[in-house]
Amino acid sequence: MDRAPLGLQNWSGHVTFNASALVRPTTIAEVQEAVAGSEAVRVVGAGHSFNDIADTHGILLSLTDLDDGVSLDPSTRTVSFGAGMTYDALAPALHRAGWALPNMASLTPITVAGAVVTASHGSGDTLGNLATAVSGMEMVMADGNLRSFSRAEDGDVFDGLVVSLGALGVVTQLTLDVEPTYDLVQHVYADLPIESLAQEFDAVFGTGYSVSVFPTWQQPHAETVWVKQRLAAGRTSTAVPSALLGARLLEQHPAPLRAERQLTPFGVPGPWHERLPHFRFHDPNAVGNELQSEYYVSRDQAGQALSAVMSLGPVLAPVIDVSEIRTIRADQLWMSPAYARDVVGLHFSWLRDAAGVAAVLPTLEAALEPFEPVPHWGKLFVTEPGMIGRHYPRLADFRSLCRDLDPDAKFTNRFVRDLLEGSVR
224, 212 Cβ separation under 8 angstroms: no
**Nearest distance, CB of residue 278 and ligand FAD, angstroms:** 8
Touching ligand FAD, residues 62-91 (CB under 6 A): 63, 83
* Closer of 105 and 302 to ligand FAD (Cβ): 105
Nearest alpha-carbon partner for 226 in 271, 277, 175: 277
Nearest alpha-carbon partner for 116 in 73, 157, 175 = 175
Beta strands 21-24 and 59-61 are: parallel
11 binds ligand FAD (CB under 6 A): yes
Site string for ligand FAD, 353-392 (x = CB under 6 A): -----------------------x-x--------------
> Is residue 45 part of the contact set for ligand FAD (CB under 6 A)?
yes
Closest distance of CB 73 from ligand FAD, Å: 21
108 is a site residue for ligand FAD (CB under 6 A): no
Asked if residue 226 binds ligand FAD (CB under 6 A), the reply is no
Shortest Å, Cβ 345 to ligand FAD: 7
Running DSSP on this structure, what letter comes out for residue 83? T
- Give the span between the Cα atoms of 170 and 281, in whole angstroms: 27
CB of 377 to ligand FAD, least distance (A): 7
Long-range contacts of 33-36 (CB under 8 A, 24+ apart): 33/1, 33/144, 34/1, 34/59, 34/61, 35/61, 35/140, 35/141, 35/142, 35/144, 35/169, 35/170, 35/410, 36/143, 36/144
Helical ranges in 98-172 per DSSP H:
112-117, 151-161
Minimum CB separation of residue 110 from ligand FAD in Å reads: 4
Pick 278 or 394: Cβ nearer ligand FAD: 278
Which C-beta is closer to ligand FAD: that of 165 or that of 211? 165
> Which one of residues 25, 58, 102, 114 is an interface residue with ligand FAD (CB under 6 A)?
114
DSSP string, 387-423: HHHTT-TTHHHHHHHHHHH-TT-TT--HHHHHHTTT-
120 is a site residue for ligand FAD (CB under 6 A): yes
Which residue, 63, 80, 160, is CA-closest to 402? 160
Distance CA 66, CA 16 (A): 24
Q: Which of 23, 28, 31, 46 binds ligand FAD (CB under 6 A)?
A: 46
Residue placing its CB nearer to ligand FAD in the complex, 135 or 196: 135
Q: Supply the minimum distance, in Å, between the C-beta of residue 17 and ligand FAD.
A: 10
Question: Minimal CA–CA distance to 272: which of 414, 425, 104?
Answer: 104
Sites for ligand FAD among residues 164-193 (CB under 6 A): 165-166, 170-171
| Beta pairing, strands 270-271 & 243-244 | unpaired
Binding site for ligand FAD (CB under 6 A): 11, 42-49, 53-54, 63, 83, 105-107, 110-111, 113-115, 117-118, 120-121, 165-166, 170-171, 376, 378
